[in-house]
Amino acid sequence: MLQRGREQAMLLDRVQHHVDLIYRSNPLDANLDGLAEELLGLMRLDACITPPAQYVNYWTQRDAIAITYGDTILQEGEKPLVTLKRFFDKYSDGLLTGVHILPFYPWSSDDGFSVLDYSSVNESLGAWDDVESIASDYDLMADLVINHCSSRSLWFQNFLKDESPGKGYFYTASPDDDLSHVVRPRTSDLLREVETTDGTRYVWCTFSHDQVDLDFRNPEVLKQFVTIVRHYLDKGVRIFRLDAVAFLWKVPGTSSLNLEETHEVVRLFRTLVEHAVPGALLITETNIPNQQNLSYFGNSNEAHCIYNFSLPPLLVNTLVTGNCKHLKMWMMSMPPAQNGTAYFNFIASHDGIGLRPAEGLLSDQELESLVDTMSHFGGHVSYRALENGQSKPYEINISLFDALQGTTSGPDAWGVDRFVCAHAIMLGLEGIPGIYIHSLLGTRNDYDRVENAGHYRAINRHQWEYGALEAALAREESTHAQVLARIKALLGIRREQAAFHPNATQFTLHLGEGIFGFWRQSMDRRQSVFCISNISDKVLPLSLSDINLIGTDDWIELISGIHYHGRDEVIDVQPYQTLWITNLAGYSDAL
């Protein structure tokens, strides 16, 4: 009992420290007495806690997460969440350990990211029982849409009437404030004029006028989200994606991006979550320049994982130019994730290919060339506003399969191989892989959906009819069947190699501009895997002596099964072929 009492006191002190740092300026003169105790009570940590282990990796090379909307696959007469689980149960063959279901709550716009009610499941998708069913067999990732909510929500309607819950929940500013430095990803007006019972107010809208930013200066907002997190944990959520969290705290006269209070809020949520359910994870979704993104690791006390946002634009650029110099330079600049943290690697998502994370890595001319190439492949471009009133490309909206249908010279016959090569590179990298469902299926641009939805991001949010999807996957010659089979084969190999642990050692190799390579070594140093990809449309020779294979070992290429017996061998690497060369195939001892 004494030990438990000490642990409880230490946790209270820790939470109080977070609260003190978040509200140190107390801009709303809010009553903070007892707030730390309230937060522990809302998370049910006021009676029994489980102290978290420090610097523990809750993941292995066996982990891979699918990213999907709840209604991506539809079957008449069946709830979409039931259909979704049936698809993964049948087609993933146990190779996907987790599922990220994009916002499955009632919403008014932005395909779920304008939330009406955080506590409910959208009736058109199913119910909490269906969510819990998925969580019973897969590690479930859910979005905590923490920066904003719908202007049609009860909270906002109550805000307008100065009633609770909602009173004081939303950030307001004056048109006379200095907002010239605010960084945001849209070109719409930042402030929206609304009429309230207290007169005209101007609410802050980082993304759209239907997505009104919450005001975390008000502790009542913080308490609401702690309650939401506890509710999601109870329903089986084990991974929280903190959507757009970099914009959380606002201060006029600043960029209102990545402010210290925002980082402290992330630290607070980590403390609460890891004491509530050991192994529950936070992932920050911060689509910002690379060095700013890295800051969300903190000192291994903020996000467990961060989205590796620079990877998609750099990898696509590499494969359409046939030149890996920028990808190599970026790889060499990336610090290894400390134990207890990991990169979350992805190359496609429900959004487009973000360009901000490539700023400073690709020149303006190279970014312009990439945008031009993607436009020729049927993509669209979204823009963001600059301080000087001009706009700049922010995101390329295109399906990854179409993005990789050719090179800067135009479409060619290597589309499928180039697409699979992109995934082979991602699956070999340090980090946990996230695979968008439309990448698993090789889905093309959906122009009808863009027209019907009225926004560019819909191009990569196709909805499959389950029967038609099954028919496509049953035809071995179909692109969809080929893509799924080849990615699953890579996943099957990856999960058996200790050197592919998300925290295993990684070094970049220098093999010229047409061959991209890196070396992975298991954490016990027993297994090495050399990951070599020809990122060009030409056959390129590779001498095994160039990658420093140990001559006394028997080396095997994992994908083809070919053995190599000497360092003097020269391999003709085919266009977009990937080699995983190891000295210890199938070594997957628990680390």
Say if residue 117 carries a ligand binding annotation: no
Is-contact 481 474, C-beta < 8 A? yes
Query: Can you name the residues that pair with 178 across neighbouring β-strands?
Result: none
> Cα separation of 136 and 411, whole Å?
43
Q: Which helix (H) or strand (E) holds 305?
A: strand 305-307
- Residue 241 is assigned to a ligand binding site: yes
**Helical spans, DSSP H, in 67-218:** 80-91, 128-137, 154-161
Q: Structure tokens of 366?
A: 């190279």
Q: Which of 579, 589, 581 is closest to 525 using CA atoms?
A: 589
To the nearest 10°, report the CA torsion of 399, 402, 407, 412: 170
Query: Is 243 marked within a binding site?
Result: yes
457 annotated ligand binder: yes
DSSP 531-555: EEEE-SSS-EEEEGGGGT--TTS-E
Active site residue 243: yes
Q: Is 376 annotated as a binding residue?
A: no
| 461 marked as binding residue | no
The span from the CA of 106 to the CA of 126, in Å, is 11
137 annotated binding-site participant = no
Alpha-carbon distance 586 to 180, whole Å?
Answer: 56
Q: Which is the catalytic residue, given 71, 243, 402, 417?
A: 243
| Tokens coding 53 | 């282990």
What whole-number distance in Å separates Cα of residue 34 and Cα of residue 23?
13
What is the rounded distance in angstroms from the CA atom of residue 456 to the CA atom of residue 447? 9
Q: Reduced to 3 states, what is the DSSP secondary structure of residue 426?
A: helix
Q: Could you tell me if residue 298 is left (phi over 0), alpha (psi between -120 and 50 degrees) or otherwise beta? A: left
Of the candidates 88, 122, 85, 127, the residue with the CA atom closest to the CA atom of residue 103: 122
Instruction: Identify whether the C-beta of residue 304 lies closer than 8 Å to the C-beta of residue 260.
Output: no
Closest to 535 measured CA to CA, from 439, 370, 417: 417
Here the tokens at position 437 are 């469902």
Residues recognised as catalytic: 243
Annotated binding site for substrate: 110, 148, 241-243, 350-351, 457
Annotated binding site: 110, 148, 241-243, 350-351, 457
